[in-house]
Structures are given as structure tokens and as C-alpha cells.
Chains A and B, each alone.
Chain A
Amino acid sequence: MKFRYLPLTEEDRREMLAAIGVDSVDELFTDIPEGVRYRGRLNLPEGLSEPELVRHMKRLSQKNTSFDQAVSFLGAGAYEHHIPSVVDHIISRSEFYTAYTPYQPEISQGELQAIFEFQTMICELTGMEVANSSMYDGPTALAEAAGVAAAATRKKKILVSRAVHPEARAILQLQARGLGLVVKEIPHIDGITDLNALEAEADEETAAVILQSPNFFGNLEDLSKAEPIAHRYKGLFVVSTNPVALGLIKPPGECGADIVVGDAQPLGIPVQFGGPHCGFFATNRSLMRRIPGRIVGQTTDEEGVRGFVLTLQAREQHIRREKATSNICSNQALNALAAAVAMSALGKQGIREMARLNLQKAHYARSRLVQIPGVTPLFDRPFFNEFALKLSRPVGEVNRQLLRKGIIGGYDLGRDYPELSGSMLLAVTEVRTKEEIEQLAEALEGLL
């Protein structure tokens, strides 16, 4: 059987075996002891031709209801936004997507410069001095930030708000178990972190205070009030954020954050069932040598020409092995490129305009929906593009009914917050129209 990805012909094989000095390929495997040699035939489906594969994959994909078939109001950490057409054209250039990590800078200047530009854009959005070349995703970036804080402060207690994404907190818990850290969750009060509770928990042992803003409920935290609590005992202030919101809201860097993390997914990256997305990690120069992951720096070549290299590698596992700041050895470079292209497309004006559209649509949607009998606002706090509503019927039931009308409803907050059961978290981004919001409103009117 012939495979289109395998170029060797029978003649090639014969010539190569002769050059090696063996009679068969099997002879090259004689070092594998017979006891562990697999002599069977893997129980996998027979290979498919390209048309058969495409048909099969299409059929599988069509078993899913995509955003093109239903109007989605889901957010909760992954957001449907308009992706400028240019993004996919650029990341489809195979000089980018078929390259490895830029170990040979002379032939990787394109990637390195694009990442240097990405780092700059993340710094600009977050108000921080340095950023890395990206991380697996927002939640893991948050967990890494806790590790950095613990190492930098030589303390072990991490205070994290319960208004931080539940999955990020779960990953943080696991990371903490590995690193021997203690995580304490701070309750929320009416949808924002209870700063009195935070103040009561903060002490000499506190390595980090972690908040998210806009938080999991979509509400903006008062970062400037939380900051002194984090710093009182020389802990670090870690803020997780949404990069689109930063087109309008005050960057965490201006509120005294030491580390800012988040996910660049809303900027040019498809939701694609939750991944791959693109974490970002920004901090100040004082913590520069503790940053996990790859970092690109500017330098010059032997003739003084500006160029870019992977730098500060003395932090990393391939040099430091068990003493490395993190075990991470990759980033999400292609998605960082996508985000950089999207940020370039939006530019200084577009990021603000996009953020404004999100704000306007979400505020309109909330004011429309709370007029429906059986719908009450869950919180009354400043919010960005996501908000929570309390419904008079169970969320699961409502969502099932909405689906019949071609609407994917919001996130059931009862999944993670038993005390908020019966409440739904809805995201309204710039892609939702007034008409679609009306469609949701009318559907809810018929249900509640």
C-alpha cells in the first residue's frame, strides 16, 4: 500500500539497506527484545483516502452545533468574537506554522520579530514592563504566576478570589499540591471579591493575592483597593484579565499589579471547543528572570544589524534542568501570532471601539432581559461584556428549551457555585446583534 506522506520507493529502500549493510528493515529492530516486540496488527480503523477522510471529518463536525447554526450567549472564559480575515491568511503561511521553536535565530527572524511585537502589545494592553512569548492558556498562566510569586517571596500562601474562573482555581490547586503551596479561597460578596475577608486572610505568609477582573461573573474588581492588601506584607499582586476589556478599562499595571495574566483567545483565536488558546504572562523587570516559558529579546548581529533571539534562557529547563523556574518548554507561538495580527488589525483605535461595542451590547442585553418577568439581575456591579441573571426556572431546563429555538443559553453558575444555583452567566460580544438579543428575550418571555 502506498502512502502519500512517505516518499521512499521500493528501489530507495533496497539501495539504502545496501548502504547500511543489512538485508531488511527488520534487522534494524533486532535490539528490541522479542518479549516486548509487538507482532500484532494495531486494532485501528483501516487508512482512509483523502476524500474519504474529508467526508468522515465533515460528518463528525456536522454532529456539532456550531455558532453558525445557533446564537450563542456562552462566555465563561472562551468568547466568540469576530476574527479579522487577515489573521487566518497570515497564520496559514507555512513558513510560520511548520517551523519549530526558533532555535536558529538567523533563519527564524520572522517568528522572533512577530513574538517580540506580541510581547510589546501585551505590555501595552496590560500596562506592564515585560511579557513572555505566551503560555498554554490563561488558567495555566495564572497557576504559573502563583509559582513565580512563591519563589520570589519565598512564601507559600496563595490567596485567590472565588470570583476567579473555577477551572483556573482547580489548576492552581493542583499546581500548589506539586509545589507545596497553600491555597486559600476568598469569598465574593455580591459578585466581587470580599476585600474585608481578603484583608483578614492576608498576613506575613502571603506570597500572592490573585484576582480576576473582569471576574468570572463579568464584574470589574476594584483593583486599586485590593492592591495595598496584597502589598502590605510584601506579597505579589496577581491579576487575571480579559485583553479586549483592556481597550477600555484601566490596565492592571496602573493599579499596582506585579503579574498580569490572561488568555489572548478573544483576539483572533477561534473558541474551538476550548483550545488551543493562548495564555499571556506580563510582569515588571524586577521579576524578569523568574518568568516561565520562552522570551524573545532584541539584539544585534556581528555587523550591527538589529535582530531577535530567545533570551534569558538561564531560567529554563534545558539549561537548569531540575532547578528551572518552570518545566515549560513551549509556548503557543502560532496563536500568539494570531493575536498579534488581530491586535495589529484593531490597532490603537480598533481595540477601544471593539471594547465599546462589547460594553454597549452587553449593557443593552442586560437592561432588556431584566425587564422579563422571572428574570432578575443577580448582581449590581460595574461589568464589561458578561453578566449574571437569576431565573425563575432551573438553568438546565431553560437552556434545553432555548436550544430548540436555536439559542445556546448562558453558563449555569450552579455548576460551580451552589449558592448561585438558578443563575445564568451570559456573554454578549460585538458579534451579537440587537435582533439576536431580542430573539433571546422573546424566547425567555415564553419560558419563564
Chain B
Amino acid sequence: MNREKKLIFELSKPGRVAYSLPKPDVPAVEPEEVLPREFLRDTPPELPEVSEPDLIRHYTDLSRRNYGVDNGFYPLGSCTMKYNPKVHEDVARLPGFARIHPYQPEETVQGALQMMYELQQYLAEITGMDRVTLQPAAGAQGEWTGLMMIRAYHESRGDTGRDKVIVPDSTHGTNPASATVAGFTAVTVPSDEKGLVDVEALRKAVGEDTAALMLTNPNTLGLFEEEIQEIADIVHQAGGLLYYDGANANAILGIARPGDMGFDVVHLNLHKTFTTPHGGGGPGAGPVGVKEELAPFLPVPVVEKGEDGYYLKEDLPQSIGRVKGFYGNFGILVRAYAYIRTMGPEGLRQVSENAVLNANYVMRKLAPYFDLPYPKHCKHEFVLSGTRQKKLGVRTLDMAKRLLDFGIHPPTIYFPLIVDECLMIEPTETESKETLDRFIDAMIQIAREAEESPERVQEAPHTTVVKRLDEVTAARKPVLRWEKSEAAR
């Protein structure tokens, strides 16, 4: 494969087209006749001029310079890169789902509303919550939605001094960022030596200003917060609410439910736990479930079932309002719904069991070769530390890059922040033992190389279309778009 690849603009040649539009069947009005001249564009946008075969080759070539779950193992911790079922892509494209408008009369979208209503019920059951909104487009938007509801809840009780949101130091960066966007101040509590929330520190941190604690359970170290009941009591007794970040829900389907743990608000990432494709960064979906006392604050509209069928309820006087255009990422919801209907209660439970089994297997096999900061059984993911290799001059980044040569996507690296030279590994349940063994062998070989021929690792990757890229210059002197050369203009 060529190392450097032309931009589609560099393939452009005046006069080529890749479109086909009908001739006007109505009078051919000239724009100048109906719009004031000063509203019209003087020069056309520099979109590429290519033929259809050029276009297809260009993007096909780009796809070959990309790596997805279908290409191979993708143990990216906290991202749950499981297999994306193909039949979901088919059903989401059915015209009755893909070619309907959000403002059509309700009687013409009963299937869509039924699907959404049932998905709300399923997700409520899986999380142990009472009500669900499907509107948020992503996990981070779910966090913000949940926090705005928490805010509305406290305010509705005249409890207006609660401006702090507590987050553990192992949390995802979105948690404190969402707290800020929702108008709270984020307060960090440390983890203890076991990698769990320091309960005594939490006890000191809560008070009359506590709006909520945001917690991921199992946490980002892959450990279940064993003191969850006490944590819930501490927060609730202080008058705060408990927010569950569902990023790691793949560990607990049918095994434990956030609602039973004492959580008041939950978001799920359908693009993680419920197999909807990540799409190279999105679209995903981040539905939010709540306990009954928060239901009045759900974003509108909510999907309800009435005597005459399903309908969108806008009239919710205490609602926080809207978080996203229309009703959420419907096409993603279709895929997640199809997954739940495929797996059923038994299948979902097996998903989590196998996810946890896979993670523990890889962890035990790699433990002799890397530092394992938290040696107890993990849930769906675990962290290793590359400190041993760092002493040999090999950084975790180097090991990640070396994995690329084995055709494996590296784990999440340098997160959570509390582990030095961190590697966060989440195999997921859709990987076979053979795949795990190949990964284990690759990791062991890299650990050996770090001792015997560190430059092999330090100079990696050796087989990719580009070598390591200069990110510093990219940020210092940003080039964020292609420009037509002066000569060409």
C-alpha cells in the first residue's frame, strides 16, 4: 500500500462529476429571479470534482487504512469494543425505520414508538430503574442530562445549596467535565490502596452542598466497588443522589443492577454494552434511567403507551426540557433493541459472565510479565502497569505501538490516571480463547523484547502505513483543512 495517500481534493479535475440529479420538471427559475443578488454566493465551494469510480476507489483505499473490530482484536479498555452484529445493520436500514420523519402524525409511526417504548422498559429492567429517556446522543450527554435532572430535583425541594458533584479520581474525564457544564463544581475523592473509593474520604467530602456522587461500577480499574451499599448510604444520608456511569455495564448484565445498588440515575452507552457500532467515534446513544422520584424531570418528549396506542408526551411541567433534537439517535436505538431481543435474559447474563471470564483469563496469563497493581479478580477489564518495562527504557506507549505490528489494536493507555504507565485491557465476550491466546503471546513477546531488544519496541510500529506521527507540531501549528494552492486559484 502506498504510504502517502492523496486527498480527494488532489484528485479533482474540473468537469468530472459523480452525481446524477433529475432535470427540473418545474419552470427553471434562476436564483437571481427569486433571491436578492446580495444573498447569493459569488464563488462556488471548492468541493472535489471526481467521477464515481474515482470516489469509490478513494474511500475504499481509505477504509483499507483503517482498523475496526471486524479487522481484529480491539481490547480498548472502557470502550467495550465487542462485535457489531450484521443483521442490526440490515434492520436499521428498513425503510419503515430509516425513511420516516420525526414530525409525522403519531398514527403513522406506531412501530417506531412501540420499539422505543419497549426499549425504555427493557433498559429499566436491566438497570433496575423505574423510567428511561432515550434522548441523549452519547454517554457524556447522558451524564449532563442526568446531572441537570439531579439539579432540578434538588431545586424542586427548595434545596438550592447543593452545588458540588463528587467524583472518584479514577473516573472518566467526562464526569467532572459534565459536572461543570451542568453548573456544578467537581470535587475529587481519592481511591484507596485497593483501587476502590476511599470510604472515609468520601464521608468527609459529603455534606449539605453535595448534589451527587458519580460512580462507575465496576470502576475504571475493572474492580467492583464492594462498599457500594455503604457509599450509597453516606451520599443519601447527606441528602445527595447517586449517579451511575454505565460505561462498564458490560460486566453486570443480569448479575447486579445499579437500581438495587442504590443508584438514583443511570446512563448506559448503547455503543458499548449493547453492540451498536462505534462508527469511528459515533453516532452512539446514551439513554438515562431514573428512579421514580426523578421521573417528573425527564426530558420531553417521553414515549408513553395509551389506550389508542403509543404517543409522545410533551406535557411534563417539571421536565428539564430538551437535550437533543427530536427523540434521540433512533437508528442506534433500533440496533440496541434488536440486540436485546436476540440475546434475551439468559444471553445477556452469559455476555457478562464471558466478558469477565475473558478478562480474568488474560489478566492471570499476563501477570507474571507485567506489574499488576490490583491483583484481585477483575470484572470485564483490568489494568496493568508498565513500570517494570519503563525501567528498561520502554514506555507503555512503545508497547502499544509495537502491538500494531501484530495486527492488534492496543489497549487504552495512560488511563486511569492513578496508575503509572497504565494499560487498560478489556477483551469483551465476543472474543475466542484462540484470539486471547494470540494477544497474550504478543504481549509476552513484547515484554521479552523490552528486556532483550528494547529498540525493537521503542521504534515501533514497523508495519503500518505511517510511522509515529508528530502530534506536537500538529497542535502547535495546526493545519485543520486542505487549502487550494495559490497557483491553482
Instruction: Decide if A306 touches B4 in the complex (CB within 8 Å).
Output: yes
Instruction: Decide if B45 touches A114 in the complex (CB within 8 Å).
Output: no
Instruction: Decide if A274 touches B39 in the complex (CB within 8 Å).
Output: no
A344: which of B55, B69, B479 is its contact (CB, 8 Å)? B55
CA distance A178 to B144 in the complex (A): 9
A364: Cβ under 8 A from any B Cβ: yes
CA distance A364 to B29 in the complex (A): 9
CA distance A269 to B94 in the complex (A): 14
Contacts of A17 in B (CB 8 A): 357
Instruction: Decide if A99 touches B325 in the complex (CB within 8 Å).
Output: no
A108: Cβ under 8 A from any B Cβ: yes
CA distance A315 to B411 in the complex (A): 23
CA distance A38 to B473 in the complex (A): 51
A317-B177, A327-B181 given as contacts; is B410 within 8 A of A104 (CB)? yes
A43: which of B58, B345, B350 is its contact (CB, 8 Å)? B345
- The stretch of A71-79, A152-160, A200-208, A231-239 in contact with B is A71-79
Instruction: Decide if B475 touches A313 in the complex (CB within 8 Å).
Output: yes
Q: How large is the interface on B (under 10, 10 to 19, 20 to 34, 35 or more residues)?
A: 35 or more
Instruction: Decide if A62 touches B340 in the complex (CB within 8 Å).
Output: no
Instruction: Decide if B324 touches A140 in the complex (CB within 8 Å).
Output: yes
Contacts of B83 in A (CB 8 A): 5
Instruction: Decide if B282 touches A276 in the complex (CB within 8 Å).
Output: yes
Give the Cβ gap from B269 to chain A, nearest Cβ, in Å: 10
Contact string, A328-359, partner B, CB cutoff 8 A, digits 1/0? 11111111010001011111111111101101
Instruction: Decide if B228 touches A130 in the complex (CB within 8 Å).
Output: no
Instruction: Decide if B63 touches A90 in the complex (CB within 8 Å).
Output: yes
Instruction: Decide if A108 touches B144 in the complex (CB within 8 Å).
Output: no
B216-230 with Cβ < 8 A to chain A: 223-224, 226, 228-229
Contact string, B43-54, partner A, CB cutoff 8 A, digits 1/0? 011111110100
Instruction: Decide if B466 touches A99 in the complex (CB within 8 Å).
Output: no
A430-448 with Cβ < 8 A to chain B: 430, 433-435, 437
Contacts of A64 in B (CB 8 A): 96-97, 100, 108-112
Contact string, B70-86, partner A, CB cutoff 8 A, digits 1/0? 11001010010111110
Instruction: Decide if B475 touches A311 in the complex (CB within 8 Å).
Output: yes
Contacts of A197 in B (CB 8 A): none
A6-B430, A25-B357, A46-B344 given as contacts; is B8 within 8 A of A344 (CB)? yes
Q: Which residue of B lies closest to A76 (CB)?
A: B103
Instruction: Decide if B409 touches A104 in the complex (CB within 8 Å).
Output: yes
A78-B102, A124-B46, A220-B35 given as contacts; is B8 within 8 A of A117 (CB)? yes
A349: which of B17, B109, B262, B412 is its contact (CB, 8 Å)? B17
Contact string, B456-489, partner A, CB cutoff 8 A, digits 1/0? 0000010011111111011100111110000000
A109: which of B105, B321, B465, B480 is its contact (CB, 8 Å)? B465
Instruction: Decide if A97 touches B357 in the complex (CB within 8 Å).
Output: no
A419: Cβ under 8 A from any B Cβ: no
A108-148 with Cβ < 8 A to chain B: 108-111, 113-117, 119-121, 123-125, 129-131, 133-134, 136-140, 147
Q: A-B pairs with the 6 shortest C-beta distances?
A: A274-B326, A61-B96, A47-B344, A63-B111, A334-B279, A98-B68
Given pairs A21-B364, A131-B480, 16 additional interface contacts (CB within 8 A): A25-B353, A36-B229, A42-B126, A42-B254, A72-B101, A88-B93, A99-B67, A104-B410, A106-B465, A296-B480, A299-B469, A319-B173, A327-B177, A329-B140, A403-B108, A434-B26
| Selected A-B contacts with CB under 8 Å, 20 pairs | A7-B431, A61-B95, A64-B108, A67-B101, A82-B21, A94-B71, A98-B70, A100-B278, A107-B67, A110-B66, A116-B7, A139-B324, A171-B323, A250-B39, A309-B469, A309-B471, A320-B177, A324-B180, A327-B140, A351-B45
